């Protein structure tokens, strides 16, 4: 087993010592309601709120006419927040534009993939190539940084809002071609080879023939689709770098974030951009989390595990605490059904964020809008303007708890011996693949299913990218890595050779970084590491089933089954049906100092639970605290400087008996405890234990 450092240092991501509680505050919607603005500050105190993000959609209020600026209203709001000891996450307003700008400079408007110029409206829809928009955002951000850079309340920058989407205008087409020329060394031969040009006579003979993918044009060249996704990420990050330039220059000590998100409503890793690249440019990772609690298609523990997975993804991006930039204290307004959190769920879901590395609970939004599309989205202050309703009271209660636990959570680190690999490029290529089951690929969801087996055993996991250092993990799980370069295959081989345990699955290692299939069977490093080779992927109709026989038990298989040729590997499991009945479905290969497992089929959850359960015991992986409990209780912790803070969370609708097998102390009351207890529905215990050297 790889040695773990006993003492980790705190890693505070802002200068604030407290956990941050508060959220998006949009006073610019209420400037003609002075009483409301005064009430906001009174209620902030009552809610135990201390941090507010302001200005993400305030461009029209900050620059009502071209070149005419008005910061006075913002000065006042900032002073009010400062007067109660509050801190400020100042947004830049590029997520939405004032109408005068679109009217006068239409180049800021996006063109969609059908080549339709968009009209002014909505938000998150600027052209990232527009030099006017780039200049204008720099001007605005210079003014904000000069005016507020020295303000003692300023904690962090929040550039724009949820970057995403793509533009197909002429400026972007030209930039795409330039980007391609650089990538392919100005050689159309190289480009045509990567894009498999001769297919359907799609050979490019002049750079000007290249047009971004379109439903009414080119959409069948997978290498190009993949390059386009990379280019969109590149341009978005480039726009971001341009936008933050004045902030870096004028306020070098103020950290800069950018609120990331999940793919919604599926609630799986975001695929609009390559966050693994974007993360390199931000100082603090933050994200907006909107799980659909109490839905009718999955139980609460399953959704809790998926939420935990996403948190562990954002934590691992920089191996440091992150900020939960947005969440709702009750319901959202954009799920199919917008159900309010049941009593207790707000506390539970918010504390889960802390357990997995968040140093904040921030909401969208502080006060519910009176008009327009978000007027029914959950907020801390409702239209009743009361502090007596259930939502406000639960928010205030959480605020108090956060104050109590702040010094034993803020800056505390997560420690994981297990990593699951998510690769957005593989996700793009797999989604594009015309093959397998078009509806059953579900890469993100599949990763979450593998993850759930660890979550149920309270084993901490990092959700990493292919660029991470693998060597610090004992176990690396790499399901469905469809796109795999030789470089990644070699990196995986080295990991096993040096003692790591590696698991991969069906539909892995099929295409290279250009989305060209590997020739000559599976990649050599993979054949060597796994001691076997996948020969054929069988894809099932929805009602088809097979069975995987493993360790004397039978597990249901659906969607995918790989037919395997074994060389040196040991066969751990076999199929019980079909023309490959009795052939290997699960293999294990000792290689170098480590071991490599191949899971050939998509099996039911019980298989993951038993298979990973066995690995957890074989590898002696341990939870943050030993607690006996039933499914649905989750135990996760953070630590620093010899102390571990552990959250014991009941994600079920019933009482849960638990047994704590070590002596711990309640963080809030100081009470010592050990042994049996009962957790109420949605109850959370927060305990601490000293960890020795």
Give the HSE-up count for residue 557: Cα atoms under 13 Å, Cβ half-sphere: 27
Are 80 and 73 in contact by the 8 Å Cβ rule? The answer is no
Shortest separation between residue 350's beta carbon and ligand GLA, angstroms = 16
> How do strand 601-603 and strand 594-599 relate by DSSP bridges?
unpaired
Shortest separation between residue 383's beta carbon and ligand GLA, angstroms = 17
Taking the least distance from each CB to ligand GLA, the nearer of 223 and 291 is: 291
Taking the least distance from each CB to ligand GLA, the nearer of 113 and 264 is: 264
Taking the least distance from each CB to ligand GLA, the nearer of 12 and 124 is: 124
Among 199, 334, 376, 541, binds ligand GLA (CB under 6 A): 334
Total of residues contacting ligand GLA (CB under 6 A): 12
377 belongs to the binding site for ligand GLA (CB under 6 A): yes
Q: Is the dihedral of CA 379, 382, 385, 388 positive or negative?
A: negative
393 belongs to the binding site for ligand GLA (CB under 6 A): no
Shortest separation between residue 137's beta carbon and ligand GLA, angstroms = 18
Taking the least distance from each CB to ligand GLA, the nearer of 56 and 409 is: 56
| 591 strand-pairing partners | 594
Q: Which of residues 449-468 bind ligand GLA (CB under 6 A)?
A: none
Shortest separation between residue 326's beta carbon and ligand GLA, angstroms = 5
Q: What distance in Å separates the CA atoms of residue 602 and residue 586, rounded to the nearest whole number?
A: 11
> How do strand 594-599 and strand 633-640 relate by DSSP bridges?
unpaired
Question: Can you say how many angstroms the Cα of residue 362 is from the centroid of all Cα atoms in its chain?
Answer: 16
511 belongs to the binding site for ligand GLA (CB under 6 A): no
Among 140, 332, 453, 507, binds ligand GLA (CB under 6 A): 332
Taking the least distance from each CB to ligand GLA, the nearer of 201 and 693 is: 201
161 belongs to the binding site for ligand GLA (CB under 6 A): yes
Q: Is the dihedral of CA 455, 461, 466, 471 positive or negative?
A: negative
Q: What share of the chain is helix, strand, coil (3-state, %, to 5)?
A: 35, 25, 45
376 belongs to the binding site for ligand GLA (CB under 6 A): no
Shortest separation between residue 615's beta carbon and ligand GLA, angstroms = 34
Strands of 175-316, DSSP E: 259-260, 262-263, 268-269, 286-288
Taking the least distance from each CB to ligand GLA, the nearer of 380 and 489 is: 380
38 by Cβ neighbours in 10 Å (0-12 / 13-18 / 19+) ranks as: exposed
Q: Which of residues 168-227 bind ligand GLA (CB under 6 A)?
A: none
422 belongs to the binding site for ligand GLA (CB under 6 A): no
> If you search the block for the tokens 């089929």, which residue do you land on?
601
C-alpha distance across the termini of the chain, in Å: 17
288 belongs to the binding site for ligand GLA (CB under 6 A): yes
Taking the least distance from each CB to ligand GLA, the nearer of 165 and 344 is: 165
- Peptide bond just before 412 cis, omega within 30 deg: no
Q: What distance in Å separates the CA atoms of residue 609 and residue 265, rounded to the nearest whole number?
A: 26
Q: Kind and range of the H or E element at 390?
A: helix 390-405
Shortest separation between residue 256's beta carbon and ligand GLA, angstroms = 17
290 belongs to the binding site for ligand GLA (CB under 6 A): yes
258 belongs to the binding site for ligand GLA (CB under 6 A): no
Q: Kind and range of the H or E element at 307?
A: helix 300-318
DSSP tag of 68 = B
Shortest separation between residue 603's beta carbon and ligand GLA, angstroms = 31
Kindly state the tokens that stand for 692. 């020795």
Q: What is the dihedral of CA 374, 377, 378, 380, to 10 degrees?
A: 0
162 belongs to the binding site for ligand GLA (CB under 6 A): yes
Phi, psi of 584 (to 5 degrees): -65, 135
310 belongs to the binding site for ligand GLA (CB under 6 A): no
Phi, psi of 622 (to 5 degrees): -125, 150
Are 540 and 519 in contact by the 8 Å Cβ rule? The answer is no
Shortest separation between residue 58's beta carbon and ligand GLA, angstroms = 12
326 belongs to the binding site for ligand GLA (CB under 6 A): yes
Q: What distance in Å separates the CA atoms of residue 141 and residue 239, rounded to the nearest whole number?
A: 13
Shortest separation between residue 255's beta carbon and ligand GLA, angstroms = 19
Q: What distance in Å separates the CA atoms of residue 208 and residue 210, rounded to the nearest whole number?
A: 5
364 belongs to the binding site for ligand GLA (CB under 6 A): yes
264 belongs to the binding site for ligand GLA (CB under 6 A): yes
Catalytic residue among 16, 63, 162, 588: 162
Please choose, out of 69-77, 190-198, 326-334, 529-537, the segment that lies near ligand GLA by the rule CB under 6 A. Answer: 326-334
Q: Kind and range of the H or E element at 535?
A: strand 532-539
**What does each C-alpha distance from 635 to 455, 615, 659 come to in angstroms?**
8, 19, 12
338 belongs to the binding site for ligand GLA (CB under 6 A): no
Kindly state the tokens that stand for 12. 């505070």
Shortest separation between residue 264's beta carbon and ligand GLA, angstroms = 4
Taking the least distance from each CB to ligand GLA, the nearer of 52 and 473 is: 52
Catalytic residue among 166, 218, 243, 326: 326
425 belongs to the binding site for ligand GLA (CB under 6 A): no
Is residue 674 part of the annotated active site? The answer reads no
Give the HSE-up count for residue 307: Cα atoms under 13 Å, Cβ half-sphere: 29
Give the HSE-up count for residue 406: Cα atoms under 13 Å, Cβ half-sphere: 16
Shortest separation between residue 165's beta carbon and ligand GLA, angstroms = 11
> How do strand 570-575 and strand 584-591 relate by DSSP bridges?
antiparallel
261 belongs to the binding site for ligand GLA (CB under 6 A): yes
> If you search the block for the tokens 């990991």, which residue do you land on?
495
Is residue 653 part of the annotated active site? The answer reads no
Taking the least distance from each CB to ligand GLA, the nearer of 363 and 597 is: 363
Q: Is the dihedral of CA 125, 131, 135, 138 positive or negative?
A: positive
Q: Active-site residue numbers? A: 162, 326
Contacts with ligand GLA by CB under 6 A lie at 161-162, 261, 264, 288, 290, 326, 332, 334, 364, 374, 377
């Amino acid at each position: 087993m790889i040695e773990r450092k006993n003492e980790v240092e705190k890693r505070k991501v802002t200068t604030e010592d407290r956990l941050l509680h508060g959220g998006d505050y949009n006073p610019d919607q209420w400037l003609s309601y002075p009483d409301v603005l005064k009430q906001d500050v009174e209620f902030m105190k009552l809610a135990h709120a201390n941090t507010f993000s302001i200005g993400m959609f305030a461009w029209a209020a900050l620059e009502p006419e071209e070149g005419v600026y008005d910061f006075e209203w913002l000065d006042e709001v900032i002073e009010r927040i400062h007067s109660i000891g509050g801190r400020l996450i100042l947004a830049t307003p590029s997520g939405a534009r004032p109408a005068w700008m679109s009217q006068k400079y239409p180049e800021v408007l996006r063109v969609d993939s059908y080549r339709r110029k968009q009209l002014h409206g909505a938000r998150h829809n600027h052209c990232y190539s527009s030099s006017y928009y780039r200049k204008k955002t720099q001007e605005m951000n210079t003014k904000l940084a000069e005016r507020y850079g020295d303000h003692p309340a300023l904690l962090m920058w929040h550039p724009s809002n949820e970057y995403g989407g793509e533009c197909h205008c002429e400026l972007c087409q030209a930039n795409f071609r330039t980007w391609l020329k650089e990538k392919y060394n100005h050689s159309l031969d190289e480009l045509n080879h990567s894009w498999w040009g001769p297919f359907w006579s799609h050979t490019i003979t002049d750079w000007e023939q290249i047009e971004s993918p379109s439903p009414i044009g080119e959409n069948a060249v997978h290498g190009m689709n993949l390059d386009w996704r990379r280019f969109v990420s590149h341009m978005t990050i480039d726009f971001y770098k341009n936008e933050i330039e004045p902030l870096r220059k004028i306020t070098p000590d103020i950290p800069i974030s950018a609120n990331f998100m999940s793919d919604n409503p599926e609630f799986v890793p975001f695929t609009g951009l390559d966050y693994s690249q974007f993360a390199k440019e931000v100082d603090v990772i933050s994200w907006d989390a909107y799980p659909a609690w109490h839905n009718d298609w999955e139980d609460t523990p399953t959704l809790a595990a998926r939420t935990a997975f996403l948190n562990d993804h954002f934590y691992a991006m920089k191996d440091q605490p992150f900020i939960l930039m947005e969440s709702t204290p009750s319901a959202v307004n954009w799920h199919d059904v917008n159900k309010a959190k049941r009593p207790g769920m707000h506390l539970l879901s918010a504390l889960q964020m802390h357990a997995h590395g968040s140093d904040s609970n921030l909401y969208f939004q502080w006060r519910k809008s009176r008009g327009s599309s978000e007027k029914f989205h959950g907020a801390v202050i409702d239209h009743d303007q009361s502090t007596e309703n259930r939502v406000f009271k639960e928010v205030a209660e959480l605020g108090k708890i956060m104050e109590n636990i702040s010094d034993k959570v803020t800056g505390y680190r997560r420690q994981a011996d297990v990593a699951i690999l998510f690769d957005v490029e593989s996700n793009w290529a797999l989604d594009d693949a015309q093959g397998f089951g078009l509806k059953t690929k579900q890469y993100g969801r599949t990763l979450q299913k593998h993850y759930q087996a660890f979550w149920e055993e309270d084993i901490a996991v990092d959700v990493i990218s292919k660029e991470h250092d693998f060597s610090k993990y004992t176990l690396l799980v790499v399901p469905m890595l469809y796109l795999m370069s030789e470089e990644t295959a070699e990196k995986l081989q080295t990991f096993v050779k040096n003692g790591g345990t590696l698991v991969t699955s069906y539909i892995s290692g099929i295409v290279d970084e250009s989305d060209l299939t590997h020739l000559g069977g599976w990649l050599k490093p993979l054949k060597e590491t796994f001691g076997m080779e996948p020969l054929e992927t069988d894809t099932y109709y929805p009602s088809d089933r097979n069975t995987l026989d493993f360790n004397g038990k039978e597990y249901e298989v659906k969607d995918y089954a790989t037919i395997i040729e074994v060389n040196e590997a040991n066969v751990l499991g076999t199929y019980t049906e079909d023309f490959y009945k009795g052939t290997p479905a699960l293999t294990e290969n000792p290689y170098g100092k480590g071991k490599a497992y191949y899971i050939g089929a998509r099996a039911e959850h019980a298989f993951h639970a038993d298979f990973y359960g066995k690995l957890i015991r074989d590898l002696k992986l341990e939870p943050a605290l030993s607690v006996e409990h039933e499914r649905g209780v989750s135990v996760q912790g953070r630590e620093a400087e010899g102390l571990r803070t552990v959250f014991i969370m009941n994600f079920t609708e019933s009482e849960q008996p638990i047994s704590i097998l070590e002596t711990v102390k309640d963080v809030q009351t100081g009470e010592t405890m050990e042994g049996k207890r009962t957790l109420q529905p949605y109850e959370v215990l927060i305990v601490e234990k000293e960890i020795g050297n």
